[in-house]
Homo-oligomer: A and B are copies of this chain.
Amino acid sequence: MSCRLGGGGITVVVVRTPTELTTAFRERGLKVTPQRQLLFRLLHANPTHPTAEALFATASEQMPGISLRTVYQTLNDLAAMGELRVLLFAGGSTRFDPNVSDHHHAQCDRCGELHDVYVDRLEALTVAGFDGFVAERASIVFSGLCAACSKLSNHPNQ
């Protein structure tokens, strides 16, 4: 089985700006605190799929005293609003993906790095065994070696 990889088409990352998130929060009767504004900024166009702890660490630098509890709270609010995707992967805690466009992931077996990929022609898949299951979404995770780790294994002396 093999898969053809598209020639690096342009990928559009759709991530709400802090301003848009502010509006979305207010519309729902949620308040926009300095803590939340900071998190909105840290998440904007953030491609690192951070964990709550990672965001907390970064946020603490800019706002000493911010609580880990607040980070979780805000992340959960965002996820409930559909502004954040929650990702579960091997090797640790929940990661949050501010990229809510239709995309998938590639995870490196060696360093654990996770990055976004865009898959087309999903409808071309042939699936057996649905047995009445009505699929609405598909989430694909590719495993292998990232560019950096792939180079390393070609030069094992490193």
CB nearest neighbor in B for A127:
B5
CB nearest neighbor in B for A137:
B143
Answer whether residue A121 sits at the interface, using C-beta atoms and an 8 A cutoff: yes
State the interface size on chain A (CB cutoff 8 A): 54
Q: Are A141 and B142 in contact (CB under 8 A)?
A: no
Q: Are A9 and B131 in contact (CB under 8 A)?
A: no
Asked if A129 meets B1 with Cβ closer than 8 Å, knowing A135-B142, A138-B140, A139-B140, the reply is: no
Encoded as 1 (CB less than 8 Å from any B CB) or 0, chain A from 74 to 103 comes to 000000000000101110000000000011
The 7 lowest CB-CB distance pairs between A and B, nearest first, are A132-B147, A124-B124, A120-B126, A135-B142, A117-B129, A136-B144, A1-B8
Further 17 A-B residue pairs, CB within 8 A, beyond A109-B136, A138-B140 = A2-B3, A2-B4, A3-B124, A4-B125, A5-B130, A6-B127, A88-B88, A108-B133, A117-B129, A118-B127, A120-B126, A121-B125, A132-B147, A134-B145, A137-B142, A138-B141, A141-B141
